Structure 1
Amino acid sequence: MNRLQKWVNGNWSVPVVSGVLIIISFAVQRLAGGAANLTVSPQWWLDAGAHATHASAVFTLADVFMLAAAVVAGYGIVVKAVRALLSRVIGIDLLVSVAAIGAVIIGNFWEAAAVTFLFAIGHALEAATLNKTRSALAELVAVAPDFAVVLRDGEQLEVPAGQVRMGEIVLVKNGAKVPVDGQVVAGTGAIDEASITGESIPVEKVKSDQVFAGTASRGGFLQVMATGIGADTTLARIIHRVEEAQDAKAKTQAFIDRFSRWYTPAVMVLALAAGLISRDVVLALTLLVIGCPGALVISIPVAIVAGIGRAARNGILIKGGEYLETSAKITAVAVDKTGTLTEGRPQLTDIVVLDPALNRTEVLRWAAAAEAGSEHPLARPILDTARAEGVAPEGIPGTVTPVPGKGIVSDVGGQQVLIGNPPLLDQYGVHDDSDAAQASESLASAGKTPMIVAVDGTAIGVVAVADQIRQDAPEMVARLHDAGVEKVVMLTGDTRLVAEAIGKATGIDEIHASLLPEDKLDVVAQLQREGHVIAMVGDGVNDAPALATANIGVAMGAAGSAVAVETADIALMGDNLLKLPESIGLAKRTVAVMRQNITIALITVVVLLAGVFAGGVTMSVGMLVHEASVLVVIANAMRLTRNDKHSTAMPKSQRTRIKERETAGEAVDAA
């Protein structure tokens, strides 16, 4: 019974019942025609009146079935049209309703049934296809785990995933789904994060690593402390974001909606005028049918839903149709150096001693003592090295004064310690008698970030840190150019020499170095004044002003940031650089499909109009062609849901690892 009720309430019950009634009508009509032509009896003229009466009765019954088919298929259409009218909206349903009712009034039951039946089939196909284009959302919902194994009072208990408590220890065994967002507190394992980041290669997880709900274990055993449950998980936020994005209208869609509000009444006026001038009611009703802008109305939303769904499956969250359209127009991309072009894990590489009275360890000790109270990312490698060499500072400096764009000034045991660039020394009147600037320039030209260390007005040494360039950074820049981006710009607070070394290695087009956060904003604004549509890739903290000013703000590695998922125009869930050109390429293809769909819809209407006035296009033929154009538009948009040559599922480094594993496997097989 439940299955029957589900079918009755589904999209296909109306067209199926209407279609069966049409078939019955044709069958009855055929039988009636056969009865009217019976001539086997030599006394046929005696029974002619009886045969004629019988045939007339049967033909009337055929008309009843055809009218019933029109009513079944057209009832819902008329109801929608009336509701729209009550809301002062003249839509497609009204055009079809008027045409069908008019056909019934003039006795053309077949045309009424054909028009409503084909329209009902088109509506069912549209609904089914839109549901399919939303499959990315359905897949995300499907990966949400139902149960979790938690450790309570030393025992393993299986509970619904929604009943896990914050801070509770969850056990993730081989093959199981991770039920919560959390931090690994014990164990090791390989986690497939494809549902979150779009990457197909499992990621090794060890203590202190982060895991996400909806991912799956491919080996090992993990104990995870829950830090996000239920609606607070990354997966739940992604589902919410994709749902909102697929419903958000693009500017083109908003224009089409406004156009259709004027277009539909215009079609009705045209049909009325044509009927009055030609005195042909059938012509007027046919114009109503072929003027339906169904393909035009659905051309944009189906493409947007398909494009955003495809992106979500690949670990790219696009905020909505408007941002998708804007992304297709991007001509310049601005990227921050640290954490984007580089891995964001700088290491101490050099310690240059300038004071003959000191050694390498003492220069490191002073530098670490000064950086102990700094929040700057470059402080971490200095402190880590000092700790490893046994000269880590005890406690923190008395005062720490950051000097934006130059360095910091610290009070260490009553002595003033400066650590930063030459402008910092100039600002505090430190004379460079030991070639500190020259040593800094030499290190910077090698792609390292130098910091001069000065104690009580005397430069004692230079320390340098270097951040490894991401292996796929040059490939990302090349693919951005292939995707139609004219200019890739680096914005960094680092020195010119360091920036140029990184830029040369990655193929960056334009470099802006030694920038403060507000300077980055100025560069972005200048690029916009030059006519560029610009995307800014940053960490959302120091780059916040530039991100807000850019046409599109992009957040990388957003899976670990709830704020990035909710606020970024484009959120790249993983840390794969190649997702950036992929997102722009996908946006361009989606907009191209939107334009193709609009062209198909308009050409169909023009051709049908010409056919009506030239003769030969009936109401049923018009509706058939109209629904065919709707299906063509939908099929065109569905191409976006497939992976193709433009997709960048994994970076070069991961492809290399796979190749190595395959080679190793072949060697084992050969052995």
Structure 2
Amino acid sequence: MFSFPSQRESAVPVAPVGGLFRLERLRALWVAYDKLMITLGSGLLILLGYLAGRLGWPAAANGLMVLATLLAGYRVAASAWQALRFRVVGINALVTLAALGATIIGEYWEAAVVTFLFSLGNYLEARTMDKTRAALRKLMELAPQVARVRREGTEVEVPAEEVEPGELVLIRAGDKIPVDGRVVRGRAAVNQAAITGESLPVQKEPGDYVFSGTMNESGYLEVEAERTGEETTFARIMQLVEEAQEEKARIQRWLENFARYYTPGIMAVSALTYLVTRDALLALTLLVIACPGALVIATPVSIVAATGNAARHGVLIKGGEHLEKAGRIRAVVLDKTGTLTRGRPLVRKVRVWRGSEKEMLLKAAAVEKLSGHPLAKPLVERAESLGKIPPAENFQVYPGCGVTGTVDGEIIRVGNRRLMQEASIPVPVDVENYLAGEESAGRTAVLVAIGEEIWGAVSIADGIRDEAKNLVSRLKAAGVRKVVMLTGDNQRVARAVARELGMDEYQAEVLPEGKVEAIRRLKQEGLVVAMVGDGINDAPALAAADVGIAMGVAGTDVAMETADIVLMSDRLDKLPYAIGLSRQTLKNIQQNVTFAILVVAVLLLGVMGKKVVLASGMLIHEASVLLVILNAMRLMSYRNG
């Protein structure tokens, strides 16, 4: 039996596979280069029309110019129509009116050139804007696609987003790490630049944390997955950067509102000009050259370039408004512990008045080993390097004073003066003088008593970060007037650290609510205040400041939510960089806005003086837009704080 194809079937020709493949390739090329092809096609038609005119074929010349206008202008007109449906009158509408009007009055050359130049400008703008988003695109390319996991004793390769928390992920040299998790086996050098902006690989071993999107440069790791898919640090960074590049600064919102009324106003002025002068070409020229294109794009292109640069350096700025505020920071408040200092106390000095250092440290560590106090760990680590720590009995904690216990039948006391006083153990004058000297130097001296006598003291201090040493001078160079340190430590320790770092002010023994109050006081002085902390304990202060900056918080949810700016790496030198970049962005925006206004003013004068025509006006207008974009692109190369 024979059957006839249906109408639907007969409408679709059967093509060989090779033909379909070529069709798909052509479609892909058109999508990728449509603006360029339209611009080149329009330019070619204008060239042919010009040649036809020179050869004495006016009808052919006019026809080619109209075709060039239609080719370059049909998308512009379509965009204008869509915008008008939402009651938005933009630059597309102005160009469409100008081209239509020029065609009606017989100025075919002007209509063709205006639409061609506008099409060329759109293409060049798209190319340059794409470059400003290059940092974000490079980050996206780092997103891991696959993961090797061990399931039921065998190694399988699965899409990265399908890894389940708790699964064991195998990562070889050259692999991208697809999850956030803890290393359980192996050692490797991991490049964390995508997360923290650090230029050098970090050595990872069992117990260390690794992040999705980082690269295993050498070695082998087995990682227990904790965060997967959209929950990973890398995925959240990408989301924050994308949101930041879309969020508008206050000045950008103002300019867009201004353009909403400015554009219809220009149309009205053009219409009035025609009614007064009866010069249609003059009115159309006025319509085109007064377009606020460069003015509207002046702010967003700078914000995109700056946030992209920041993301590449491990700094997340959560949008244009926060970037704008950061550019006006005049006071920086820093938490001491974990921000200015490393947050890892170490034994800096040991003083012995009786017995041997080894015996004193081993017996003190036997008691401190049972304590959970932060100062206990460095003492125990120091003792472990000297020998085996003996067992302790009868362990007791005296809050705010210290600990006691029994070692080999002797009572061991480790703590401050108050602990010794309560045990009726005398503290000699020379010991008192030593303690005062250590505290003045910024160190906490812990007394060790064996039996009824003080044997010695162990001085413990949290080391100041290397990059904190010149932080104040770099912040001042970036335009900050006042740098303040807040800490819960005692006055002597706070004074020593503040003096060493050159702080303008410091406050000691400050509780969380005290930090908030200190920030409010600075704001009352008329200063734009930034608070820098770890994003967890300092959450109230971060929220109270004009700009909250959390540092060293890769993987920390609270910091991502609370802070306006997140420094992913545990490095203070990113702080002056972030403030400096924000300052440069504000200057860049001001330059762009000033330039855009001057160009419009000069063009208006040129039109009124009959020095600027429709085509040259459009050329200058598009050139001004490109110059604004190119100026903003300079922010992509900003490096110094």
TM-score, structure 2 as length reference: 0.86
User: Which amino acid is the alignment partner of residue 27 of structure 2?
Assistant: Q
Q: CA deviation at 1:459?
A: 10
Amino acid at match of 1:157: V
Alignment pair present for 1:467 and 2:474: no
Aligned residues: 607
Q: Structure 1 pair 361/479, CA: closer, same or farther in 2 (3 Å)?
A: closer
Contact 1:453 1:459 in 2 (8 A): yes
Matches within 5 A, 1:385-464: 390=389, 407=400, 440-450=435-445, 464=459
Match of 1:234 in 2: 233
Is 1:173 aligned with 2:172?
A: yes
Residue by residue over 1:299-357, the C-alpha shift from the partner in whole angstroms, topping out at 9 and shown as x without a partner, is 1110000000011111111111111111111111111111122111102446779999x
CA contact (8 A) 1:363 1:453 kept: no
- Say which is worse superposed, 314-323 or 332-341, in terms of deviation: 332-341
Distance 1:513 1:303 in 2: 40
1:592-607 correspondence to structure 2 within 5 Å: 592-607=587-602
Partner of 2:609: 614
| DSSP-derived class of the 1:364 partner | helix
Give CA deviations for 1:385-408 in whole Å, capped at 9, x if unaligned.
6777626767986x886xxxxx47
Aligned pairs for 1:552-631 (under 5 A) are: 552-631=547-626
Change (3 A) 1:632 1:387: same
Once residues 423 and 142 of structure 2 are traced to their aligned partners in structure 1, the CA distance between those partners, rounded to angstroms, is 62
**Contact 2:548 2:565 (C-alpha < 8 Å) held by counterparts:** yes
1:505-538 Cα offsets, whole Å, 9 max, x none, are: 2222222112111111111111111122111111
Contact 2:46 2:112 in 1 (8 A): yes
Change (3 A) 1:420 1:555: farther
Residue identity in the other structure for 1:563: V
Deviation at 1:14, TM superposition (A): 2.6
Conserved in 1, the CA contact under 8 Å of 2:347 and 2:379? yes
Looking at structure 1, the residues matched to 416 and 507 of structure 2 have their Cα atoms a distance apart, in angstroms, of 19
The aligned residue for residue 504 of structure 2 is 509
Q: Which residue number in structure 2 is paired with residue 486 of structure 1? A: 481
CA contact (8 A) 1:241 1:566 kept: no
Question: Which residue of 2 is the match for residue 156 of structure 1?
Answer: 155
In the other structure, the counterpart of 1:639 is 634
d(CA) in 2 for partners of 1:599 and 1:206? 54
Partner of 1:218: 217
CA distance in 2, matches of 1:321, 1:400: 51
Q: What displacement does 1:154 show?
A: 3.7
1:606 corresponds to which letter in structure 2? A
In the alignment, is the contact (CA less than 8 A) between 1:171 and 1:222 conserved in 2? yes
Letter in 1 for 2:521: Q
| Displacement after TM superposition at 1:444 (Å) | 0.9
What is the letter of the counterpart of residue 319 of structure 1?
K
**Residues 145 and 160, structure 2, Cα contact 8 Å, conserved in 1:** yes
In structure 1, give the amino acid aligned to 2:96.
Answer: S
Which residue does the alignment assign to 1:15?
A: 39
Aligned equivalents of 2:297, 2:103: Cα separation in 1 = 28
Partner of 1:203: 202
Match for residue 514 of structure 2 among 511, 519, 522: 519
Q: 1:71 to 1:494 in 2, by over 3 A?
A: same
Looking at structure 1, the residues matched to 518 and 632 of structure 2 have their Cα atoms a distance apart, in angstroms, of: 37
CA–CA separation in structure 2 for the residues paired with 1:156 and 1:268: 68
DSSP-derived class of the 2:436 partner:
helix
Q: Is the 8 A contact 2:394 2:405 kept in 1?
A: no
Moved more, 563-572 or 189-198: 563-572
Distance in 2 separating the partners of 1:421 and 1:284: 89
Whether contact under 8 Å (1:503, 1:511) holds in the other structure is: yes
- The verdict on how the C-alpha distance between 1:81 and 1:439 changes in structure 2, with shifts beyond 3 A counting, is same
Alignment check: 8 A CA contact 1:190 1:218 kept: yes
- Residue identity opposite 1:158 in structure 2: E
**Residue type of the partner of 1:364?**
A
1:295 aligns with 2:298: no
Asked whether the equivalents of residues 68 and 112 of structure 2 are also in contact (C-alpha less than 8 Å), the reply is yes
Name the counterpart of 2:190.
Answer: 191
Letter in structure 1 aligned against 2:70: V
Residue 129 of structure 2: aligned partner: 130
Distance of aligned partners of 1:537 and 1:302 in 2 relative to their CA distance in 1, 3 Å threshold? same
Q: 2:360–2:455: 8 Å Cα contact kept in structure 1?
A: no
In structure 2, give the amino acid aligned to 1:261. Answer: R
Structure 2 stretches lacking a partner, 5+ long: 1-22
Cα distance, 1:487–1:392 mapped onto 2, change above 3 Å: farther
Aligned CA RMSD, in angstroms, stands at: 3.3
State the distance in 2 between where 1:566 and 1:367 align. Answer: 41
1:16 aligned partner, one-letter code: L
> What TM-score do the two structures reach when normalised by structure 1?
0.83
Work out whether 1:546 is the aligned partner of 2:541: yes
Deviation at 1:156, TM superposition (A): 3.0
| Structure 2 contact 364–448 (Cα < 8 Å) conserved | no
The equivalent of 2:10 in structure 1 is none
Instruction: Work out the CA distance in 2 between the residues paired with 1:453 and 1:251.
Output: 60
Secondary structure of 1:329's match? Answer: coil
Provide the rounded CA distance (Å) in 1 between the counterparts of 2:466 and 2:111.
65
8 A Cα contact 2:179 2:211, kept in partner = yes
What is the CA–CA distance in structure 2 between the aligned matches of 1:232 and 1:296, rounded to whole Å?
39
Within 1, Cα distance between the matches of 2:106 and 2:556?
65
Bigger shift: residues 247-256 or 205-214: 205-214
Q: Name 2:86's counterpart in structure 1.
A: 87
Whole-angstrom CA distance in 1 between matches of 2:392 and 2:524: 49
Q: Secondary structure at the match of 1:344?
A: strand
Alignment partner of 1:67 is 2:66? yes
Query: What per-residue deviation string (whole Å, max 9, x for no partner) do you get for residues 193-240 of structure 1?
Result: 112211221111111111112211222222222122211111111111
Structure 1 unaligned spans of 5+: 34-57, 402-406, 648-671
Deviation track 1:50-79 (CA, whole Å, cap 9, x = no partner) reads xxxxxxxx3122212211211222222222
| Structure 2 residue matching 1:472: 3-state secondary structure | helix
Q: Share of identical aligned residues, percent?
A: 46
Q: Quick one: which amino acid aligns to residue 23 of structure 1?
A: L
Q: Is the 8 A contact 1:372 1:383 kept in 2?
A: no
Q: Deviations over 1:475-495 (max 9, x none)?
A: 222211211112221111112
Return the letter of the residue paired with 2:570.
D
State whether residues 368 and 393 of structure 1, in contact with CA within 8 Å, keep that contact through their aligned partners in structure 2.
Answer: no
SS at match of 1:559: coil
For the 8 Å contact 1:421–1:450, the answer to whether it is kept is: no
State how 1:319-330 maps to structure 2 within 5 Å.
319-330=318-329
Aligned letter for 1:159? V
Alignment partner, residue 311 of structure 1: 310
Distance 1:538-1:421 versus aligned 2 partners, 3 A rule: farther
The one-letter code of the counterpart of 1:568 is: A
**Partner Cα distance (1:99, 1:583) in 2:** 44
CA distance in 1, matches of 2:234, 2:405: 47
Partner-residue secondary structure (3-state), 1:468 = strand
CA distance, structure 2, for counterparts of residue 16 and residue 396 of structure 1: 85
- SS of residue in 2 equivalent to 1:241: helix
CA distance in 2, matches of 1:532, 1:514: 24
Q: Is the 8 A contact 1:472 1:578 kept in 2?
A: yes
1:381 is matched with: 378
Secondary structure of the corresponding residue to residue 554 of structure 2: helix
Residues in 1 aligned to 2:530 and 2:35: alpha-carbon distance in whole angstroms? 42
The whole-number CA distance in structure 1 between the counterparts of 2:51 and 2:529 is: 64
Q: Name the amino acid aligned to 2:199.
A: S
Which residue is 2:4 aligned to?
none
Q: Write the deviation string for residues 591-618 of structure 1: whole angstroms up to 9, x where unpaired.
A: 1111111111111100100000111211
Question: Structure 2 counterpart of 1:639, which letter?
Answer: R
Supply the distance in 1 between the matched residues of 2:251 and 2:303 (Cα, whole angstroms): 11
What is the match of residue 368 of structure 1? 368
Q: Aligned partner of 2:28: which letter?
A: K
Q: Over residues 140-181 of structure 1, what are the superposed CA-to-partner deviations in whole Å (9 max), with x where a residue is unaligned?
A: 110112222223344333332223222222222222222222
